[in-house]
Amino acid sequence: MGTTQARPALSPEEERDVLNAEVTVRSFANKLTSCRPSSVLVMMGAGVSVSAGIPDFRTPGTGLYSRLERFQLPHAEAIFDISYFREHPEPFYELAKEMYPGRFDPTPTHFFVRLLQEKGLLLRCYTQNIDTLERVAGIDPELLVEAHGSFSKAHCIDCRAEYASEWVKVNIDNDQTPVRCTACNGLVKPDIVFFGEG
């Protein structure tokens, strides 16, 4: 979730050149079939989950960071900052209640990646998304790299005791927050990588 420099997008003409003048799923499938790869590496970002109804982070007006005024944060990224979370965990838990897996369904792209897996072509799927829709779609966790972590597991931020994601979700859904570790009383959060974490 750190700051990265975006590469310039392909122009429509460049997209058509890559896909033989036809920018469609069929054209992409034909390209994949014609080159007969032994394996495919997939890199996914927010756009894949936006069509499932999950906002991206940074789009002005519609992105997640644009819609956090109600939390009165010092800055939008504070909601995912480990130092801020230690002092003020409530905003994150309230947001997590809206974002927790089970509220959204995988998109056709997620199922396409699963199809690559079923055909024995998926080498690895790297995702920046924290929503676990790759897992819900049936992509083997052994083939999945969740670059920013995900809601699939949770840990105490102090003693690192592991907790089932479902247990954390039930606590958040029932407004039993902050979620506390039963071993040391530290805060428990999903394994989303926060700013300031190693």
Catalytic residue annotation: 148
Residue 120 amino acid letter: G
Report the candidate in 173, 141, 169 with the shortest Cα–Cα distance to residue 154: 169
DSSP 146-170: ETTEEEEEEEETTT--EEEHHHHHH
Cβ–Cβ < 8 Å for 18, 10 = yes
Q: What is the radius of gyration, based on Cα positions, of the chain?
A: 19
Helix, strand and coil in the chain, % to nearest 5: 40, 15, 45
- How far CA 1 is from CA of 97, 143, 165, 172, 177, in Å, comes to 20, 21, 21, 23, 24
